[in-house]
Amino acid sequence: MIVSVRRAVAVCALGAALAACGTLRAPGTARPAASAPTLAPGPAGLTPVFTHGPRTRDRSVALTFDADMTADQGRRAAAGEHFDNPSLIATLRRMNVPATVFMTGRWADEYPAQARSIGRDPLFEVANHSYSHHAFTGHCYGLPTISPARMRADVERAYAAFRAAGVRDPLPYFRFPGGCYDRRALRELRTAGVTAVQWDVVSGDAFATDADAVARQVLKGVRPGSVVVLHCTRSAAPVTERALRTIVPELRHRGYRFVKVSHLIAAAGDGR
């Protein structure tokens, strides 16, 4: 989840009970799909990090959506708070916009039917946003921190949750909670077979109340090959669906075409 520093307290409150996530599966028990394009390992064999695609004339842009969910939010969801956003997914379908959804395993546990529907729709691809939404570094917007020894297991547990929900072929892409990572985190995940996917355009939709402001920020930042980070939870990003109704037609008017992250990574690997 991407938030400003002044909203760190809110993020901390959302993640306060993450430690109760339960027993982790052993590393290696669930694997991402192997067929999707990935980047070569980084320096010293570390997990590679992808930020944007080639700045080419085809003007491709990838919209990505983080489906955040934590252990304490399960209780709040049971009380009626919404951490899903079916209207946003419906809007993407209606406008025929390919997208990459970075799910937490906890979200897939809470909304298995929606996770399965997204994961079996060829318009979308599902990637990993951790199971617990613990931070993989210290001092990450107030999020609790996962220990280095549990990092890979947390990623593996998310893949297990996707498959339990019926998601087909989740991709070998991982987005760090809060976007926070360091060399140690890249080292701990190097045997997980994933490419870390960041972004070059921050939408500012987390906890936003002004859809027009979100749209303006995205439209100002997009360049050919951009990866835009947004969210698909009503509780944390209530105006994102409305912002899309401005973002999508305007980018198409400017000559952009929407693609999935896997398309941009393949293009980067081809040197295009």
The rounded average pLDDT for each run of 10 residues, N- to C-terminus, in the chain (272 residues) is: 38 34 42 82 96 95 95 84 95 98 97 98 98 95 93 98 97 98 98 97 97 98 98 95 98 98 93 55
Q: Which two tokens stand for residue 252?
A: 């198409």
pLDDT of residue 29: 53
For tokens 């979308």, what's the residue?
A: 124
What is the Cα–Cα distance from 130 to 218, expressed in whole angstroms?
Answer: 25
- Structural domains of the chain, ranges and CATH numbers in brackets: 7-15+42-269 (3.20.20.370)
Q: Three-class SS string for 199-265? A: CCEECCCCCCCCHHHHHHHHHHHCCCCEEEEEECCCCCCCCHHHHHHHHHHHHHHCCCEEECHHHHH
What is this structure's pTM?
Answer: 0.88
